[in-house]
Each structure stands twice: as structure tokens, then as C-alpha cells.
Amino acid sequence: MVDQPLQPFAPPSALFAQLHLPDTISAGVAVTWALYIVFAFWALYTLVAVYHWLKYSHASWVAFPAIALHLFISFALMAYALSGNAFSLTPYLP
Amino acid sequence: MKEFELEPGEHVVLQVRKHWFLFLAELLPYAIMAIVPFALPKLLVLAPPLAQYAAFFDFTTPLMRAAFGVWLLVTWTGAWSAFTRYFLNAWVLTNQRIATIKQQRFFNREVSSLLLPRVQDVTTNISGVVFSLLGIGDIKVQTASEDVEFVMRGIPRPEQMRDLILKYVSTKPQTTNI
């Protein structure tokens, strides 16, 4: 095997610059749709988890605060991922 | 209780879950995952050959912010899922039986009962320095038939649980038809 010098690591922005997306789709739109797909999986998972909480938590008082906290934190993180604003979490995020 | 119907005269004596320390231990990987994006740029700066890569963690760009948001969302959902599993797994002692409720994963739930008159032997086991200090241990409840045994792992104050089981075993003497 021929020795070759190590190639420098390509940063993600350079990778995106090399992506040849169709002219009609911008990188920003692709990222947004990728986020929507992730959020759809999150919604499905949350729906199943909430079903289990409500069915099996024996009407415990913990169920509703736990679900509410999960929804609040998740929506804040989604808002951060989409727009950079994350309700009251924004000061703590980079 | 919706999982199993209580018999007339039956009441719940104690309901226990895994010790909170074991739950926190389950959260540790998620805590590390959450800290990594904050800590990695600072750690990379400390290593001169890798310092140039610290610039990639620029969370002012939409792409990095989206990646960071998704990373934290996955981490948070995983941690919340761990709490869900912790909460939905329980052992219930009534004055007539012991019930174990195992939520192994979503849509996989096992509820089993052991009548107290069938209990022959109750063994507790606490091993390790941390477990001894925090009072975390296991209980093994055995019946006359060798293949039936209930094991509760990582519960708080197992001696108290054992004493309660033995108390309710002895307060309801087994009746025979002889």
C-alpha cells in the first residue's frame, strides 16, 4: 500500500458545500425537513410513552407533571433547533 | 390498583420501586451525553493538535444549532424514558400477596402475584460498600416448589420489606382441610 499523507479533517460546513442538492432545494430546507422527520419520531415515541403513563401509573400524581415537564423541555429544544429561541432555556444553551 | 383486583379484605401494605441511587446511575449516560457538546470545545482547545476543531462547535450557525437541538432532544427523551421505566416497575406487598409489575419495554408488561401463605423462605442480600451505606439490596422469596421464586433487586431497605413479608405470612395462618 502506497503511503499517503493524512488528509485534513473536513468540517461539516465544507461537507455541506460539496453537497449537490437540486437547485429547487436549499440546504436550509433540507435541514428543516430532516428536523421535522426527527420530530415526527419523537411525537410517536412520546405518544406511546404517555399512553403507558396514563394506563399504568395507577392515577399517580406523578404522571401529569412528568408528562408536562417532558413536553415543555422537548418543545423548548425543538424551538431551539428550528429557530435558536428556546423559551426560558435559551440563556443556558450555547 | 388497575393491574390486579384486590380481594375483599385485601389492602396494599407497601409499594416499592428500585432505589433512587440506581435510577440516578441509569441517568448517568444521559448526563454525559448532555454535557459532551458543552465540554468538547473546551477540551479540544486544551489539546494543541486538535484545537483547530474546536471552531466546528459554533452554535451560532443554524446547522450546528439544529444538530445540537436534536442531540439534546434525543438525550432528554432517553432520560425521560428511563424515568418512565423506573416508575412503571414496582413491587406491591398486600396483606395477602406479593405482586411484581415488570415493564420491560413499551407494550411488554408482566404482572405476577405470589400468595403469602405459599411463602417458605425470605432471603435478603446486601453486598458492596455503597449498597450497604445506602441500604440497597435484593430480596428472594421462595415457595415450597423450587421453581417458583420472586426476586426483587435493588430495593431500598430490604430488611424492612422482609420483616413486613414475614409479619403478614405469620399473621394469616394457613388453613387446612384436614
CB contact under 8 A, A49 and B68: no
For CA atoms B45, B46, B47, B49, give the dihedral sign: positive
- pLDDT tens digits for range B133-159: 999 999 999 887 766 678 899 999 999
- pLDDT tens digits for range A27-67: 777 888 888 899 999 999 999 999 999 888 766 788 899 99
- pLDDT tens digits for range B72-103: 999 999 999 999 999 999 999 999 999 988 88
- pLDDT tens digits for range A65-76: 999 999 999 999
Cα A47–Cα B68–Cα B29 angle in degrees, nearest 5: 70
What is the C-alpha to C-alpha distance for residues B176 and B96, in angstroms, rounded to an integer? 17
Contact A71, B77 (CB under 8 A): no
**Who has greater pLDDT, B30 or B113?**
B30
Q: Other CB atoms closer than 10 Å to residue B155's CB: what's the count?
A: 20
Smallest CA–CA distance, residue B73 to chain A, in Å, is 6
Query: Binning pLDDT at 50, 70 and 90, where does residue B178 land?
Result: very low
B112 touches chain A (CB under 8 A): no
What is the C-alpha to C-alpha distance for residues A15 and A8, in angstroms, rounded to an integer? 13
Interface predicted TM-score of the whole assembly (ipTM), two decimals: 0.81
Residue B176 has a pLDDT of 47
B65 touches chain A (CB under 8 A): yes
Taking CA atoms, A65 is separated from A24, A47, A61, B164, in Å, by 44, 16, 8, 31
Is the pTM of the predicted complex or chain greater than 0.90?
no
Those residues with Cβ within 8 angstroms of residue B157's Cβ, 6 or more apart along the chain or in another chain = B135
Q: Is the pLDDT of residue A84 over 80?
A: no
CB contact under 8 A, B88 and A93: no
Smallest CA–CA distance, residue A1 to chain B, in Å, is 26
**Who has greater pLDDT, B13 or A27?**
B13
Q: Is the pLDDT of residue B172 over 80?
A: no
CB contact under 8 A, B88 and A57: yes
Instruction: Say which of A27, A52, A81 has its CB closest to residue B65.
Output: A81
Provide the β-strand partners of residue B108.
Answer: B105
B11 touches chain A (CB under 8 A): no
Average pLDDT taken over every residue of chain B: 87
The rounded percent of chain A whose pLDDT value lies above 90 is 32
Which of B3, B42, B84 is best to mutate for the A interface (most A CBs within 10 A)? B84
- pLDDT tens digits for range B22-45: 999 999 999 999 999 888 888 888
Residue A9 has a pLDDT of 57
